[in-house]
A and B are shown apart, each in its own frame.
Chain A
Amino acid sequence: MGINRLNFFRVLGLTGVSLAFGKKLNASQPSHSKEKQKEFVGVLYDSTRCVGCQECEIVCAKEHGLPEPDPNDYPTTDVVRKTNENRRSVINAFDTSKGEVYTKKQCMHCGEPACGAACLTEAMHKTHEGPVIWRGDKCMGCRYCMISCPFDVPKFEYQSTNPEIVKCTMCNERLQEGGIPACVENCPAEALTFGTRKELLKEARKRIVENPDLYYDHIYGEHEAGGTEFLYLSPVPFKEIGFKTNLQNKSYPSLTKGFIGAIAPVDILLPAALLGIYEATKSNKKNTEDEE
């Protein structure tokens, strides 16, 4: 019986530990909403203004030490250009019901990023200001962020022996020094606007109201994936310009919250239940042995 009592105390002790851990676990989740109370910054991209000059691609490469873009690789309606480990932002051209329309693609900087919830070392990190950044000293290169991101943003350097995850960081270093993202600063057509998300939404709505014929009545990123820091305006439905329109409006981390919430209770209750079953069947066994 001594060992059983010992077992019991072990279970009790671990229950306490799990409870403490569980609390920490629960506490870590609403922190997102606490951060949300602070205004996140973002970028509004207006595809009715974009002329497809690729200046944003060039300054982005320069800013982040990426290879200079190939001048022969320009947006046409025949191909969909993708971001990759050498370019964090691309411009694409689409043939639409209102003629040729350009779009810019880069990280959307979700309010509650799936990559951040996926990352087991918090290498993918939503800063208090709004950008989602990648931290090399933490990342172990598992690529779970790539599996989880609904926009397929994070890219991986497969040819490197010390690979990095490459994605737009909203020029976080520039923001820290009081600047604005390089693409926004250098856009000659003023298609990009930097500001707090609230201001940008207001501005976007104003543009739609003032020019209802020019704009399609939807701000992409206002609700998609729980809301993103990058917001888009378009003259045509977003499906026509290659946007994912089947995404949920709840945040992606909400999909795993139920499971993560169940872990602590199972960790606590299952050992106790198993111990109970063990005790019950053990006495059975003893009885049958006695009868024999």
Chain B
Amino acid sequence: MSQAATVQSKEKPENKIWPFILSELKPKGKIFTPFNIISTPIMLAGIIIIFLRFWNGIGSVTNLSQDVPWGLWIGFDVVTGVAFAGGAYVMVFLVYILNMEKYKPIVRVTVLNGFLAYLFYSGALLLDLGRPLNVVNVIIGNNFGVSSVLFLVGWHFLLYMLALFFEFSPAIAEWLGARKLRKALSGLTMVAVIFGITLSVLHQSGIGALFLMAKEKIHPLWYNAYMPIMFVVSSIFGGISMVIFEGSISHKVFSDQLEENSHEKHNDILHGLSKICTGGMFVYLFLLVLIFVHQQNWEYLPTKMGIWFLVEVIGFVLLPMIMFYYSYRNKKILWIKIASIMTLVGIILNRMNISIIAYKWDAVVRYVPNWKEFVVTLTIIFIEIWVFRWIVRRMPVLRKSPSWVNESH
């Protein structure tokens, strides 16, 4: 609390902004926390592996092959990560478009999470590109591959990152004490929100559409023409589950940033979110059953892949949906948290199944990620958490905006 108070009371003239930023760069809080002790060596190892990847080629650190061109870095970091970051567009829709004031306390942290997720997942994408410098070709038009799904995903991705930045930017202005800038930036919020949601719907579905041309390569239980729609729907409850999961951790770790009654408020928010998750998952399951019956996929069920499919759908969609529903009716906060974790596992299973496990499921030699791929993935997640923590400790993300914000209105 004292830390929050000092930042709030700080009144900085504009010319002292650089010394202020320099002073903010110093670490706050304890250095030898368990998280730091675990994450630091992994991050160091990850950076060495990233160095090796650029020194010796992608093949030197991954188990990718001519048959499996996309592995963990795309399947988890990008395809799954984008679904997890879907919370940002759902929350701004609830708060800014539907005017549900109840969710306002968590909108900033969700937007920050979404922005960092996109920033670091697109960083992970660059590691996976064989010729990463040529990524500018997409922007400068060498050439614009307008008939490519990936081109459209790429552009929507990029513009959405910009929208997320503008949605979050008032918090940066508040941190710097820049009143005029804040006013200008918060004027842009609605524009960023409206286009951000549109861009999200399209790139979330676009990631599903990426796999449309791999028609014979993906197991028929997972491949269908409606993958784009399924990806959007699952990104709604996947993203919200991430908000629940991440919010529950943040509320413990950053309790010093929160007001006194925030705990009950947060429980009320979780309660509302569990209702939205139940609805989203019901729609998803309904569509899934329709597709299943329409494609007459019964014959695949008594196979290995069929059982794996049932594990995903029953164990990690139907079951958490029932748990969300039950906990919504009976106000069981712990159940909501457990259901959110199960839903996240379900999203991981679904995205990994489509991009890796059910992709060439009948191949003789299967792809298993190299341990180095896991280390790099963890490194990216850890760096993201470090940056997240740095921002939350400094900017008004979880705590209230400084008092001058409301005065100026």
Contacts and interface: CB of A to CB of B under 8 A. Distances in A.
Interface of A: 3, 7, 10-11, 14, 24-25, 28-29, 82, 84-85, 114, 117-122, 136-144, 146-148, 150, 152, 155-163, 244, 246-248, 252-253, 255-256, 258-260, 263, 266-267, 270-271, 274-275, 277-278, 281-282, 284-285
A142 to B, nearest CB: 6
B2 interface: no
A260 B153 CA distance: 10
B129 A141 contact: yes
Contacts of B269: none
Nearest to B198: A270
Contact of A274 (B97, B137, B152, B217): B97
B216 A150 contact: yes
B130 A246 contact: no
B145 A255 contact: no
Contacts of B206: 259, 263
21 contacts: A3-B190, A7-B194, A120-B145, A137-B142, A140-B129, A140-B137, A140-B138, A141-B131, A144-B148, A147-B70, A147-B213, A152-B67, A158-B62, A159-B56, A159-B57, A163-B131, A259-B228, A271-B198, A274-B193, A274-B197, A281-B98
B96 A161 contact: no
A148 B130 contact: no
B129 A142 contact: yes
A266 B201 contact: yes
A275 B194 contact: yes
A29 B55 CA distance: 40
B312 to A, nearest CB: 21
A152 B59 CA distance: 19
Contacts of B129: 140-142
Contact of A266 (B67, B132, B148, B198): B198
Interface string B182-213: 00000100110111011001100110011111
Given A121-B138, A266-B202, A158 B148 contact: no
B340 to A, nearest CB: 26
Given A119-B148, A142-B150, A147-B213, 14 more contacts: A7-B191, A117-B148, A139-B130, A141-B134, A142-B129, A146-B66, A157-B57, A161-B55, A162-B130, A255-B215, A256-B209, A259-B209, A274-B193, A278-B190
Given A138-B134, A259-B228, A120 B66 contact: no
B337 to A, nearest CB: 30
Chain B interface residue number, banded: 35 or more
A263 B152 contact: yes
Interface string B163-182: 00000000000000000000
Contacts of B228: 259
A9 to B, nearest CB: 11
B58 interface: yes
Contacts of B134: 121, 137-141
Contact of B69 (A117, A147, A271): A147
Given A117-B147, A120-B148, A278-B96, A259 B205 contact: yes
B405 to A, nearest CB: 18
Nearest to A117: B147
Given A117-B213, A120-B154, A139 B146 contact: no
B234 to A, nearest CB: 17
A42 to B, nearest CB: 22
Nearest to B126: A140
A87 to B, nearest CB: 11
Nearest to B355: A147
Nearest to A165: B130
A163 B57 contact: yes
Contact of A260 (B62, B99, B131, B149): B149
